[in-house]
Amino acid sequence: MSRYKNAPPATNLRPISLVAALLLGASGAVSAQSAPARSTQPPAQISPEPVDSAPDATPQDPPEFSRSPATRGDEGATALMRAAQRGDLGTIQDELKDGADINAQDPRGYTALARAAATGQLESIKLLLDRRASIELPDRFGATPLMQAIAGGHTDAVELLIQRGANVNSRLSRSRTTPLILATWHGHTDIVKLLLDNKADIAYRNQGGMDALMTAIEQGHRGPVLMLLERGAPVDGVTTAGRSVLDLAAAANDVATVKEVLKRGIPVDRRDSRGTTPLMHASTRGATDAMKTLIEAGADVNAKSDNGTTSLIQAASNNRSEAIRLLLEQGANPDARHGQFGATALHWTAGAGRLEATQALLAGKANTNLQDKAGRTALMMGADNGNLDVVKALLDAKADIALADSKGERAVDWARKKNHAAIVKLLEPSSE
């Protein structure tokens, strides 16, 4: 049986590792990387994968710093570099006395000063700077010693480097990410404060359109978010993919930031580059607290994106039962159809074998007999998936077993193709 092929994402919600991609300089929609790929195939066979979602995952360091000098050991390092990294002042002095190049770089561009900064070796940093080590010499990714200290969370080293003249607005080579964005990525509130106190550009956006506030929200670092808002961080910017601060806060279930952004005049139904609203972003993630806040502020629960998805379809395709119930309680149309496929939320939940979500839609009076553009019903989707309880729930809700799709196939035919014997028997009791 055919799948819905080449389905565009219902929203441009990106994975948790969105920031990693943007720190590296990705722009527009994230490709198959940024996170483990999720299918964007709608039903049916309705993939059990969501229309557009990303699995929760522990954020990874930006690839520029995935192997910092602190973790690379002695690979390509000179004796001076090794001594600086471990804080061996005597050896540093001996090496310099013997003519060692203080600004020599290993194969990845790390200097002795970068290694000292990455490990927070204050005395090494002081000694090297006193001997005229270059404070701005970047590695091959464009990361300066200041960035290395930030990545390591070494507040004292960051402060020292700033006092000695480090540029707080330097940028990585590819992504154009700054020290402030990097500090918010890591959630180092004290370092964020230091950088802001020393005139770091709070409004600067990198190659992917991410600024410091967006990064902090995406990573869930409440301390930096609060500080940036207090310092007047802009809330009206958008990423290169069209996502706004409100979209990010809604998806992160960050109610306080959602309220603050709305208070500053951002429209509750502001659409991104694909026509997706903040409520759709929140529904995709099941961010019910943010959803309630948006709805109370007047969000349209039946708004459609450019390709015709709704908040309910987003919640259903991502198996967000609580979000489904909330949307239905607030007047969401249970039978709204996806613009490209003609499928309803029930098609997704039945095709994915999601019993609780299916029951939530049925409780909200979803029509069991609506057919998509290929004539397929939710019962056909459930029969194909093989979840007997879902099929029973649909039948209890008066799903019509006699309906056929555009190829003349009924639900029992779908079940038979997949050898779901119990479902075949249920749909055609006379079957052996």
Mean pLDDT over residues 343-367, rounded?
A: 97
Position 52 confidence tier, pLDDT thresholds 50, 70, 90: very low
Residue 13 has pLDDT above 90, yes or no: no
Q: Does residue 161 or residue 10 have the better pLDDT?
A: 161
Position 159 confidence tier, pLDDT thresholds 50, 70, 90: very high
Res 35: pLDDT: 29
Share of the chain above pLDDT 70, in %: 82
d(CA 222, CA 189): 9
d(CA 271, CA 393): 36
Chain mean pLDDT for the chain: 85
Res 66: pLDDT: 46
Mean pLDDT over residues 307-317, rounded?
A: 96
Provide the 3-class DSSP secondary structure of residue 374.
coil
CB within 8 Å of 98: residues ≥ 6 apart: none
What is the widest separation between alpha-carbon atoms in the chain? 95
Read off the tokens for 51: 């229309």
Residue 307 has pLDDT above 70, yes or no: yes
Q: Which domains does the chain have, with CATH numbers?
A: 338-432 (1.25.40.20)
Q: Which amino acid is at 226?
A: L
Res 71: pLDDT: 56
Res 347: pLDDT: 97
Q: How far apart are the first and last CA of the chain?
A: 24
Res 123: pLDDT: 98
Provide the 3-class DSSP secondary structure of residue 266.
coil
Res 198: pLDDT: 98
**pLDDT tens-digit series, residues 379-392:** 999 999 999 999 99
Residue 174 has pLDDT above 60, yes or no: yes
**pLDDT tens-digit series, residues 122-134:** 999 999 999 999 9
d(CA 297, CA 185): 29
Query: What global pTM score does this model have?
Result: 0.81
Q: What is the DSSP string of 185-238?
A: HHT-HHHHHHHHHTT--TT---TTS--HHHHHHHHT-HHHHHHHHHTT--SS-B
Res 118: pLDDT: 95
**pLDDT tens-digit series, residues 328-343:** 999 999 999 999 899 9
Position 432 confidence tier, pLDDT thresholds 50, 70, 90: very low
Mean pLDDT over residues 393-422, rounded?
A: 96
Residue 403 has pLDDT above 70, yes or no: yes
Read off the tokens for 267: 């429209």
**pLDDT tens-digit series, residues 212-266:** 999 999 999 999 999 999 999 999 989 988 899 999 999 999 999 999 999 999 9
Considering only CA atoms, which of 205, 269, 216, 264 is closest in space to residue 239? 205
Residue 406 has pLDDT above 50, yes or no: yes
Position 175 confidence tier, pLDDT thresholds 50, 70, 90: confident
Residue 351 has pLDDT above 60, yes or no: yes
CB 113 within 8 A of CB 128: yes
Q: Does residue 49 or residue 233 have the better pLDDT?
A: 233
CB 355 within 8 A of CB 323: no
How far is C-alpha 413 from the geometric centre of its chain's CA atoms?
39
Share of the chain above pLDDT 90, in %: 78
Position 1 confidence tier, pLDDT thresholds 50, 70, 90: very low
Res 45: pLDDT: 36
Q: Does residue 190 or residue 18 have the better pLDDT?
A: 190
d(CA 424, CA 384): 10
Read off the tokens for 196: 């802001």
Mean pLDDT over residues 344-366, rounded?
A: 97
Mean pLDDT over residues 181-210, rounded?
A: 96
CB 149 within 8 A of CB 162: no
Mean pLDDT over residues 130-154, rounded?
A: 96
